[in-house]
Structure 1
Amino acid sequence: MVNELHLLTEEPQSPTMDIVAIHGLNGHYSETFTDKSWYGHGTLWLKDLLPKKIPGCRVMSFEYDASINSMSVANVRDAARSLLELLRDKREDTIYSDVPIVIVAHSLGGIVIKQALVLAEDDYPNMANCTKGIVFFGTPHRGADAAQWALMAEKIGHAVLRTSRSAFVKILEKNSEGLYKISEDFRPMAANYAIVSFYEEYAFNILGKVIVDKDSAIMGLPHEQKMMLSGTHTSMVRFSSSDKQFDAVWKRIKRAAAGVPRRGQDQFDISHGPVAPSS
């Protein structure tokens, strides 16, 4: 599999923002974000719904080999650098070079973008400066049980867990040194970005519990917006045209393009009430 940044929408004449989606473990650049329909074509909300709500947005989705049984030796750092290089190629010397960037990240994708922004601070300053917000969907900032990842992947992709697991599985485990380092490196710069964290409501059917619990899915930042979505770890990032929850998602993506709210602006945590503005 070749790492690729797929353009999902037509390029607008007057761009307002770049929205970049990143799938998670055993995910796919389009299927992860597609609501399956019994009647034929599913809804890829990144392409089918988002441009109607946010005029002028250009939407891309990053494809990388995050298969649980991949023989690739690539790790999170490799994926992060590939993303930065591909995104720079899409933006450099174009009308998009300075438009805001908002990242939409599911699960492992959130770890990839945190690593990418750590790298961007020194090596890709334009990318770091233009990135205004990150919308996390079920990202395990503090990890989750390895057995849960394996069972979920087996259920979704009919994968059989081999003894030699991919580097991506290992970094998602609780008490992973790699995960801890990425989190520690990213935390000082997190105040530069609007942060939205969605966490899952429903247990994964074969486990009887959620894949990423609320405590792991939330970073605990003063300016972070937190909200529960009615879905499992996989369904929480899929929306049909009639899904009322999509309103909450697209509005937060649009707001994130403005960056961190200025002091004095209202911030609201839907699960805990008002949150003090960040300093």
Structure 2
Amino acid sequence: MVREVTDDDIGLKVVREAPAEAVQIIDILAIHGIGAHPDDTWCKNVGTAESPQRVNWLEADYMLPAVAPNARIMRYGYQSQWFGEGAVRQKVSTVAHRLLMALHQRREKYPFRPLLFIAHCFGGLVVLKALLDARHYKDDWPGIFDSTAGLLFFGTPFRGAEGMTPTMMLEAARQEYEEDEVQPQVLQILQPGNEFLQELVDQFGKTRTHVDKAVVACFYELKASNVGKIVGKADRTVSKMRLYG
């Protein structure tokens, strides 16, 4: 089960400052997906269930910091629980706006420092929306769009998800929880053909004509996914996730 997201987990957190002697510092920001924990998303338990030993690849010295030694590494957390006790309604636009506010405040002294985003699932859509807003309202969010040099997407459903569909996830959640403990609205954007999703991706695609556009890399699942493990305890394996980009 996903660890509960508390108020202390929400917002922008620096997990590793750039070394004092670093030159040409860059900012790296990671943002998780729905139904996930802001920190655990980037962790692997190398211990046991009884004695967990979590390694966070954003901050472990031999992982991301080893390949980006001059980076200030941050992660952004938001309330992403859409099922179970404490489930909340969540919208891409709302999370994107709060992300921009937090990022603008954190980068106030160095607004044009190179910026790289790492995003998982729904978090990738949040990044697209944030960048589009930052481009449209540059006076409000100076440097964020123009300084973005790289985008890494993990399992972001740019054209919706097939295989483990939102309907399957919703049905699995309703078997585990009461009706008022499930908030399905956030899943609507994952439906192939969703109008908001299509407009979001199409508008971002138009920015790719810029000479100084950010480098983009996308990664996605090829193996079967256990939807039951996502929303509860029962095993309900479905075919591999297909993401349209």
Normalised to the residue count of structure 1, the TM-score between the two structures is: 0.68
Who is 1:189 aligned against?
Answer: 207
Which structure 2 segments of 5+ residues have no match?
1-5, 227-235
3-state SS of paired residue (1:128): coil
Contact 2:80 2:90 in 1 (8 A): no
- 1:117 aligns with one of 113, 127, 131: 131
Root mean square deviation of aligned Cα = 2.3
Deviations 1:160-213 (A, max 9, x none): 3736524321211222222112112211013422110111121114333123x1
* In structure 1, C-alpha distance between the alignment counterparts of 2:66 and 2:201, rounded to whole Å: 34
CA contact (8 A) 2:115 2:149 kept: yes
The C-alpha deviation readout for 1:50-78, integer Å capped at 9, x for no partner, is: 11221111111110111123653441001
Cα displacement string for residues 84-135 of structure 1 (whole angstroms, at most 9, x for unaligned residues): 1101111102xx4322111001111111100111100122241011111110
Structure 1 match to 2:97: 81
2:89–2:186 contact (8 Å) kept in structure 1: no
Change (3 A) 1:57 1:22: same
1:99 matched to 2:105? no
Counterpart of 2:56 (choices 44, 47, 55) is 44
Q: What CA distance in whole angstroms lies between the structure 2 residues aligned with 1:117 and 1:169?
A: 21
How does 1:106-255 map onto structure 2 within 5 Å? 106-123=120-137, 124-144=141-161, 145-150=165-170, 160=177, 162=179, 165-191=183-209, 192-205=213-226, 206-211=236-241, 213-214=242-243, 216=244, 219=245
In the alignment, the residues of structure 2 paired with residue 10 and residue 64 of structure 1 have an alpha-carbon distance, to the nearest angstrom, of 21
Q: 1:59 aligns with which of 65, 68, 73?
A: 73
Separation in structure 2 between the aligned mates of residue 167 and residue 11 of structure 1, nearest angstrom: 39
> Aligned partners of 2:208, 2:178: CA distance in 1, in Å?
34
Aligned counterpart in structure 1 of residue 14 of structure 2, from 7, 23, 44: 7
2:3 corresponds in structure 1 to none
For 1:193, give the aligned amino acid: A
**Identity across aligned pairs (percent)?**
27
Task: Give the counterpart letter for 2:102 in structure 1.
Answer: L
The question of whether the paired residues in 1 share the 8 Å contact of 2:88 and 2:183 is answered with: no
Return the letter of the residue paired with 1:210: K
Question: How much does 1:10 deviate?
Answer: 2.7
1-side partners of 2:46 and 2:171: how far apart?
24
What CA distance in whole angstroms lies between the structure 2 residues aligned with 1:121 and 1:97?
14
Count of residues in correspondence between the two structures = 209
Structure 1's consecutive aligned runs of 4 or more residues displaced over 4 angstroms after TM superposition are none
Contact 1:72–1:166 (8 Å) recurs in 2? no
Gap runs ≥5 in structure 1: 220-279
In 2: Cα distance, 1:83 partner to 1:72 partner? 18
Structure 1 counterpart of 2:167, one-letter code: A
Q: 1:78 to 1:138 in 2, by over 3 A?
A: same
Distance 1:71 1:201, change over 3 A: closer
Q: Is the 8 A contact 1:108 1:140 kept in 2?
A: yes
Q: Is the 8 A contact 1:68 1:159 kept in 2?
A: no
Cα distance in structure 2, aligned partners of 1:161 and 1:85: 35
**Structure 1 counterpart of 2:31, which letter?**
I
Q: If the length of structure 2 is used for normalisation, what is the TM-score? A: 0.77
Q: Which amino acid aligns with 2:237?
A: L
